[in-house]
Amino acid sequence: MSTYLTTEELAERIKYNPRTIRNQFKDTIFFENVHYIRPFGKRKILFVWERIEEDMCKPTMSLINGMALQ
> Which amino acid does the sequence have at 41?
G
Residue 11 has pLDDT above 60, yes or no: yes
Element (H, E) at 37: strand 36-37
pLDDT value at residue 58:
86
pLDDT value at residue 61:
57
pLDDT value at residue 29:
94
Spatial distance between the Cα atoms of 7 and 34, rounded to a whole number of angstroms: 15
pLDDT value at residue 8:
98
Q: Where are the domains of the chain?
A: 4-68
Pairing of strands 46-48, 4-5: antiparallel
Confidence at 70, pLDDT banded by 50, 70, 90? low
Question: What single string gives the DSSP state of each residue in 2-44?
Answer: PPEE-HHHHHHHHT--HHHIIIIIBTTTB-BTTTEE-GGGSS-
